[in-house]
Structures are given as structure tokens and as C-alpha cells.
């Protein structure tokens, strides 16, 4: 009986802390339906994406992810560029609101995120602000707001980040709440 209760508590605790997210990818350089189709076909090759909904007018794609996999935004960018276009912006949209504080890390479905925010904020939408996803001047401004070396490297490193359990990768992505 004790084993069943412990197993049930373990299952409930993992479900309650698991929060899903999806992304809105805004692409640049798309000029027609064929451009959008080419980009979508390229993104469909990524096994961690469960569905893609294109918006031709906004030149964007709503990306739904598989909860059991590491979401690699670098690979998403690579696939968009393979199709001949560029990532203008990626918004990460969580299923529930997240309380974000500057320089804090959080794990969502085994994916590690580091937050940038002017003030403690509560929202469900964040902008991906890693080095290859923002202009050089914005990256410089954000790097001045952190003492964590993970922003420069993109890696979860012992010298700046506390140990996080159940990570699917040592890659850390950085999010800004002031969209």
C-alpha cells in the first residue's frame, strides 16, 4: 500500500509542475505562399514539433511541441535558414502565467530557461533573446543585466547556474518578459 501511495504522489507531483509551452515564430523574407510552405516543410522535419500552423499575413508560424522532448530553438532557426529565410522573433507562450524575476532560472518540461525582466512580472508570453536571436546591440544591453555566464555561452554551467534536475539538455535559453 505504501508503494502505491508513494507512486501516486510521485506522479501527481510531476504532473503539477509540468507546464507546457508553444512558440510563435515570426519569419522574415517570406514573400509568398510558396515561401511559407517551404519553411513549414523544413520545420516539419523536427521531431519535437507536434504541429505547425502558418499565418501567411503575419509571416509567422504557431509551433506546438511534444511535451516529452527537448525543444531546440537553435535547430528551429537552422531549419528556417535552410529554407532560405530568417527568424525575426520567437515568442514563447506558456500554458499558464509564469512569475519571472531577473536572472532566475526555471525548468519547464525538462527545458531550462533563464529570465530577463525589469521588474518581477507575471505573464505567459516571453521573447527568446539568445545571442543568435536578437540584434547585437540588444544582446549587449541584456548581457549588462546579468552576471550569469550562461547568457554568453548558452550552456547550463556550474559556475553560474545551480544544479537543475531532469534536464533534457544542458542548453539554456534566455527569455525576456517585456514584450
Q: Is residue 2 part of a domain?
A: no
CA proximity to 150, closest of 97, 113, 102, 109: 113
Q: Is residue 97 part of a domain?
A: yes
Q: Is residue 90 part of a domain?
A: yes
Using an 8 Å Cβ cutoff, are 57 and 116 in contact? Answer: no
Q: Is residue 7 part of a domain?
A: no
Q: Is residue 98 part of a domain?
A: yes
Q: Is residue 10 part of a domain?
A: no
Share of the chain above pLDDT 70, in %: 88
Which pLDDT band, with edges at 50, 70 and 90, does 19 fall under? low
Q: Is residue 64 part of a domain?
A: yes
Domain containing 73 equals 20-176
Give the domain CATH number at 67. 3.30.70.100
Q: How many domains does the chain have?
A: 1
In the predicted model, what is the mean pLDDT of residues 53-61? 93
Q: Is residue 15 part of a domain?
A: no
User: 91-123, pLDDT tens digit by residue?
Assistant: 999 999 998 888 888 888 889 999 998 888 899
Amino acid at each position: 500500500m505504501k508503494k502505491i501511495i508513494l507512486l501516486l504522489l510521485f506522479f501527481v507531483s510531476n504532473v503539477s509542475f509540468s507546464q507546457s509551452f508553444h512558440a510563435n515564430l515570426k519569419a522574415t523574407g517570406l514573400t509568398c505562399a510558396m515561401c511559407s510552405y517551404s519553411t513549414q516543410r523544413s520545420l516539419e522535419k523536427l521531431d519535437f514539433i507536434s504541429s505547425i500552423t502558418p499565418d501567411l499575413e503575419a509571416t509567422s508560424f504557431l509551433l506546438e511541441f511534444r511535451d516529452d522532448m527537448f525543444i531546440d530553438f537553435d535547430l528551429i532557426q537552422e531549419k528556417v535558414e535552410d529554407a532560405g529565410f530568417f527568424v525575426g522573433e520567437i515568442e514563447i507562450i506558456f500554458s499558464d502565467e509564469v512569475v519571472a524575476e531577473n536572472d532566475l532560472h526555471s525548468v519547464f518540461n525538462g527545458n531550462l530557461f533563464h529570465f530577463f525582466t525589469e521588474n518581477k512580472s507575471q505573464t505567459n508570453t516571453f521573447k527568446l533573446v539568445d545571442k543568435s536571436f536578437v540584434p547585437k546591440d540588444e544582446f549587449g544591453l541584456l548581457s549588462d543585466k546579468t552576471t550569469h555566464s550562461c547568457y554568453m555561452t548558452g550552456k547550463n554551467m556550474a559556475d553560474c547556474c545551480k544544479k537543475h534536475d531532469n534536464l533534457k539538455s544542458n542548453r539554456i535559453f534566455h527569455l525576456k518578459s517585456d514584450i
